Amino acid sequence: MYSHMISTYRDMFAACVIALLCLASMIHSAPQDCQDVIQPLDQLDPDHLEGRWPLVAGSLSDPAHLEFFRNRNSSSITFSNASATSNIVYTPSVSAGGKCFYKSYNVSLEGSTLTFDVRDQVNLTLTFLHTSCPDCLVMRFDNESKKVLRLWLFSRRREVKQREMEEFKAQVECLNMPPPVVLDPAKELCPEQSNRNSAAAQTVEKQEG
């Protein structure tokens, strides 16, 4: 009887120790996992950037911008001259209100970071984050105080697999950003600017992506 009680205590004690260890390791591993999830790309092949990338989904910290974002039909970015890493031309385009808006910027790529020409006074830093999706770009837009303003998911495809969207959502969560808005893949993209009369196409855009 007495020895039975001791063994019950011992089992309870063992169970508690295991539970505490599990709990401790969960507490310990959560931020560590987020560090991995929002890791910047360590190597980006500039040639990989070249061309057009439709926007698949985006998360924005500013509710005013979110409203503008929801009103767009589609969006894409185009990189040209990408192999000249200090002279890349970055052209976001937005289809909204039945019109196409474009603006081109000169940017330079250093590691995983794109910076705008100071003359453009954009003051945003764009960082490419790691993603397991081979034909995607995950771009984080920070302002001068390193505050995350947007997290964008681009792909060569208009739509990504559920697993790839889950990975993006995890990145959004780790950055404490609002849930992403997914764009309708059936909505037409704006024609690429080089295919159009550039005078007609040079409508000023409201955002840098």
Ligand X SMILES: *[C@@H]1O[C@H](CO)[C@@H](O)[C@H](O)[C@H]1NC(C)=O
Interaction site with ligand X (CB under 6 A): 71, 73, 81, 84, 87, 89, 95-98, 104-106, 117, 121, 123, 143-145, 147, 188
Give backbone dihedrals phi and psi of 180, rounded to 5 degrees, phi first: -70, 150
Instruction: Please identify, using beta-carbon distances, which residue of 31 and 98 lies nearer to ligand X.
Output: 98
Instruction: Please identify, using beta-carbon distances, which residue of 126 and 136 lies nearer to ligand X.
Output: 126
Q: How far is the CB of 150 from ligand X (least distance, A)?
A: 11
CB 136 within 8 A of CB 152: no
Look at residues 78, 38, 43 and name the one whose alpha carbon lies nearest to residue 59: 38
Tell me the residue nearest to ligand X as measured from the CB.
Answer: 84
Instruction: Please identify, using beta-carbon distances, which residue of 121 and 162 lies nearer to ligand X.
Output: 121
- The CA radius of gyration of the chain, in Å to the nearest whole number, is 23
- Cα gap 56→172, rounded to integer Å: 14
User: Would you state the structure tokens that stand for residue 202, as one six-digit string?
Assistant: 């040079």
- Cα gap 96→111, rounded to integer Å: 33
Q: What angle do CA 86, 61, 134 make, to 5 degrees?
A: 50
Instruction: Please identify, using beta-carbon distances, which residue of 125 and 130 lies nearer to ligand X.
Output: 125
Q: How far is the CB of 112 from ligand X (least distance, A)?
A: 20
- Cα gap 58→182, rounded to integer Å: 7
Q: Kind and range of the H or E element at 113?
A: strand 113-116
Q: How far is the CB of 116 from ligand X (least distance, A)?
A: 9
Q: How far is the CB of 14 from ligand X (least distance, A)?
A: 49
Instruction: Please identify, using beta-carbon distances, which residue of 113 and 143 lies nearer to ligand X.
Output: 143
Q: How far is the CB of 209 from ligand X (least distance, A)?
A: 14
